[in-house]
């Protein structure tokens, strides 16, 4: 937005044109008693005092950049972000969360979003990508909306793997609570179910099968058989994927997935305090009219030059109203831009190196940790950069012990899977040096 | 504006052919919608429909509309090729772009061609 100065004379001229005497008159619709309510706040601080006070409070936080060595993942991952990402995001030309409606004045932003979409479809092996959702959980819930709309409400069953992120499953339940859907397979005590064993749950009333890749425990499964079986019954399949893992693994598109969604935070977005993050949503071209959210397309302008516009907007809720698939309208445009800058700066080779470092370091950590007395790997399946460590005592106690030693341990799986109290989900990324991994091992060896 | 005289028309701009049971949208409707980019038939063969039930969804570059059954009866045929060629709704609304056929149908509130033409004229300023 361009800065436009205003003088008192100009302001008065505008007020006169509008037909009011003062700025206050513009707020007349709000009753006077609600304009400046008594907020019962402590006495005001000066800017210097407030800065010092907030600084004090902030210094009691411990973060993974300065204070703690982190092995915590479970959906949010600590990766290196080149400084150029932030520099581009802070440029005034880009600094908005909204997708632009006016192509005449927004070609640069629209092109950046178009690049984001192209990169995401390359990564997932899908044909179209929207311009993002709030986070991985809401993107997954939108996949349910798509499937529901695709079958026009005639199929009402979701087959859900118990090793889809527990919080994503929770968000799906919230989204769908009034839709009269039936959810099967989502049983926390049955977390060792194989993809093949889930096939028997799929029938002609199944609209969507949801699995995660790698799954919440970090395991890599080939879902091809499950996907083929779902397609035989006419059902759609949504794969929730980790984008970093996709740099190394066969794409869900190659396995036949219909929808691939996930959390794009690992691609250039800091951990922050759990958000704002970025949900990606990709699917096949045949489902594009049921896909929620903004979509940028390439076209030509009146002179025949390449240009970009929001496309297929008639399917969106501001036109289709209550008949739209979803009421998602705005998105994480700025973070999608950050994500495409991250991918562009690292390039294909750089991204693959990140994935390879994560893989190698995680496997080194897993090998070393499993040598410690009383500890062991819980699963035998291949994994990417996260794995379940069986501990000799409750994971909550192990985590407390590690925290006392300056280490943010893994995710305590007992919180979501009652029979996994002694199980720690450990994530390793390129940010973890060999020294850090070795000290994790040494400290756990000393644990009483 | 083209309004074949053998057809019946609804206020929501569908046409109905009493001889064949075919249903579609009128020339007036397609011109108002402008370039149609997507059509989805919402009913299956063998399904019973009542007059006024939504049978299809149409999206143009600017708008999205539901298409309603002009008659009650059983859906005896669905034009499956239409979704692959939605532009047919613009080029041949009374021919290739039929949407479904309704069998044993009793028409709902419909007008003949002359009445419909008058009705459309009344709507264009």
Give the model confidence (pLDDT) of A119-138 as tens digits: 999 999 999 999 999 999 99
Whether A268 contacts A341, CB under 8 Å: yes
Count of domains in chain A? 2
**Nearest-10 crossing angle of helices A434-445, A395-404:** 120
CB-closest option in A152, A289, A319 to B42:
A152
- Residue in B40, B42, B61 nearest the CB of A314: B61
Q: pLDDT per residue over A178-188, tens digit each?
A: 999 999 999 99
B60 contacts on A by Cβ (under 8 Å): 314
- CATH number, domain containing residue A293: 3.40.640.10
How far are the Cα atoms of A219, A242, A255, B29, B59 from residue A262, in angstroms, in the given order? Answer: 16, 6, 16, 41, 29
> Which of residues A341, A357, A381 is at a domain's end?
A341
Q: Which of these three, A306, A341, A376, is where a domain ends?
A: A341
ipTM of the complex: 0.83
Q: In the predicted model, what is the mean pLDDT of residues A24-31?
A: 91
Q: Average pLDDT, stretch B87-101? A: 96
A231: contact with B, CB 8 A cutoff: no
Contacts of A2 (CB under 8 A, 6+ apart): none
In-domain check, residue A122: yes
In a domain, A396, yes or no: yes
Q: Domain check: are A363 and A335 in the same one?
A: no
In a domain, A30, yes or no: no
At residue A315, does pLDDT exceed 90? no
Contacts of B61 in chain A (CB under 8 A): 314
* B7: nearest Cα among B123, B112, B114, B115: B112
CATH code (residue A77): 3.90.1150.10
| Preferred mutation among B34, B37, B64, B86 to probe A, highest tally of A CBs within 10 A | B64
Residue contact B64–A152, C-beta within 8 A: no
The residue segments making up the domain with residue A294 are 83-341
Class of residue A446 by CB neighbours under 10 A (exposed 0-12, middle 13-18, buried 19+):
exposed
Task: Give the separation between CA B90 and CA B27, rounded to whole angstroms.
Answer: 8
Angle at A306 between CA A303 and CA A308, to 5 degrees: 115
Query: Tell me, what's the pLDDT at A332?
Result: 85
Q: Which residues of B9-38 are buried (b: 16+ CB within 10 A; e: fewer)?
A: bbeebbbbbeeebbbbbbbbbbebbeebbb
> Are A282 and A419 in a shared domain?
no
CA distance, residue B97 to nearest chain A CA (Å): 20
Q: What is the model's pLDDT at position B63?
A: 87
In-domain check, residue A40? no
Residue A2 above 90 pLDDT? no
Q: Are residues A248 and A158 in the same domain?
A: yes
Test A314 with B42 for CB contact under 8 angstroms. no
**Domain membership flag for residue A23:** no
Same domain, A167 and A133: yes
* Chain A residue numbers touching B53 (CB-CB < 8 A): none
Which segment of A326-335, A395-404, B109-118 scores lowest on mean pLDDT?
A: A326-335
State how far the Cα of A270 lies from the Cα of A76, in Å rounded to an integer: 9
Residue of B nearest to A321 (CA): B64
Strands A206-213 and A236-241: parallel
A226 in the same domain as A152: yes
Ordered domains of chain B (ranges, CATH): 8-108 (2.40.50.100)
Q: Based on the domain organization, do A267 and A329 belong to the same domain?
A: yes
Do A305 and A367 belong together in one domain?
no
State yes or no: pLDDT of A331 exceeds 80: no
Same domain, A133 and A271: yes
Cβ atoms of A266 and A101 within 8 Å: the answer is no
Q: Is residue A137 part of a domain?
A: yes
Final residue in a domain of this structure, among A319, A341, A363: A341
Distance from CA of A311 to the nearest CA of B (A): 8
Average pLDDT over residues A160-172: 97
By C-alpha distance, the chain A residue nearest B36 is: A314
Beta bridge partners of residue A192, listed in sequence order: none
Residues A314 and A381 in one domain: no
A312: nearest CA partner in chain B: B61
CB B89 within 8 A of CB B28: no
Q: How far apart are CA A29 and CA A26, in angstroms?
A: 8
Query: Over 70: is that where the pLDDT of A1 sits?
Result: no
Q: Is the pLDDT of residue A241 over 70?
A: yes
From chain B, the residues in CB contact with A319 under 8 A are: 62-64
Domain-located, residue A54 = no
Task: Judge: B57–A323 Cβ closer than 8 Å, yes or no.
Answer: yes
**Do residues A286 and A434 share a domain?**
no
Is A196 in the same domain as A263?
yes
- Sort out which chain B residues have CB atoms less than 8 A from A289's CB and list them: 38, 40, 59
Q: How many CA atoms lie within 13 A of A236 on its CB side?
A: 23
- Shortest CA gap A308–chain B (Å): 15
In a domain, residue A57? The reply is no
Q: Kindly state the average pLDDT of the residues B94-111.
A: 90
Q: Are residues A106 and A74 part of one domain?
A: no
8-state DSSP, A383 = B
């Amino acid at each position: 937005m361009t800065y436009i100065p205003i003088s008192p004379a100009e302001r008065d001229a505008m007020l006169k044109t509008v037909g009011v005497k003062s700025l206050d008159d513009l707020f007349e619709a709000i009753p006077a008693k609600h304009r400046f309510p008594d907020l019962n706040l402590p006495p005001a601080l000066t800017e210097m005092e407030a800065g010092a006070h907030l600084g004090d409070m902030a210094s009691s936080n411990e973060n993974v950049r300065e204070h703690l060595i982190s092995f915590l993942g479970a959906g949010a991952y600590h990766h290196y972000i080149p400084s150029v990402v932030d520099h581009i995001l802070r440029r005034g030309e880009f600094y908005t969360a909204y997708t632009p409606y006016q192509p005449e004045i927004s070609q640069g932003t629209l092109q950046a979003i178009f690049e984001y979409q192209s990169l995401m479809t390359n990564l997932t092996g899908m044909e179209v990508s929207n311009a993002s959702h709030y986070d991985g959980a809401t993107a997954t819930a939108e996949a349910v909306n798509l499937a529901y709309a695709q079958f026009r409400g005639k199929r009402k069953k979701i087959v859900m793997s118990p090793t889809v992120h527990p919080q994503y499953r929770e968000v799906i339940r919230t989204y769908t609570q009034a839709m009269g859907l039936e959810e099967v397979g989502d049983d926390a005590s049955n977390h060792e179910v194989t993809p093949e064993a889930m096939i028997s749950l799929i029938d002609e009333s199944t609209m969507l099968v949801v699995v995660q890749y790698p799954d919440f425990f970090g395991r890599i499964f080939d879902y091809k058989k499950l996907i083929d079986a779902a397609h035989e019954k006419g059902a759609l399949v949504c794969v929730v994927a980790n984008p970093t893992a996709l740099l190394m693994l066969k794409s869900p598109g190659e396995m036949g997935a219909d929808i691939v969604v996930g959390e794009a935070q690992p691609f250039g977005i800091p951990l922050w305090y759990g958000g704002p993050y970025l949900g990606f949503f990709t699917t096949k071209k045949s489902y594009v009219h049921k896909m929620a959210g903004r979509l940028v397309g390439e076209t030509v302008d009146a002179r025949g030059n390449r240009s970009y516009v929001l496309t297929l907007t008639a399917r969106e809720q501001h036109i289709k109203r209550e008949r739209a698939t979803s009421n998602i309208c705005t998105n994480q445009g700025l973070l999608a831009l950050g994500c495409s800058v991250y991918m562009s700066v690292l390039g294909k080779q750089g991204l693959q190196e990140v994935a390879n470092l994560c893989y190698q370091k995680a496997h080194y950590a897993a090998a070393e940790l499993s040598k410690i007395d009383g500890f062991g790997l819980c699963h035998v399946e291949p994994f990417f950069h996260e794995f379940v460590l069986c501990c000799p005592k409750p994971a909550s106690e192990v985590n407390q012990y590690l925290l006392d030693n300056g280490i943010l341990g893994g995710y305590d799986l007992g919180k979501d899977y009652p029979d996994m109290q002694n199980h720690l989900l450990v994530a390793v990324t390129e940010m973890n040096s060999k020294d850090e991994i070795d000290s994790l091992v040494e400290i756990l060896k000393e644990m009483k | 504006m083209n309004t074949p005289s053998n057809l019946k028309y609804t206020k929501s701009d569908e046409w109905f052919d009493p001889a064949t049971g075919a249903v579609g949208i009128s020339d007036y409707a397609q011109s108002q919608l402008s370039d149609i980019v997507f059509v989805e038939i919402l009913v299956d063969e063998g399904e019973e429909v009542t007059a006024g039930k939504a049978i299809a969804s149409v999206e143009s570059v600017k708008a999205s509309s539901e298409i309603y059954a002009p008659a009650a009866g059983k859906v005896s045929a669905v034009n499956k090729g239409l979704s692959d060629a939605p532009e047919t709704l613009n080029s041949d609304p009374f021919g290739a772009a039929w949407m479904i056929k309704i069998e044993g149908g009793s028409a709902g509130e419909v007008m003949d061609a002359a009445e419909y033409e008058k009705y459309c004229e009344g709507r264009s300023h």
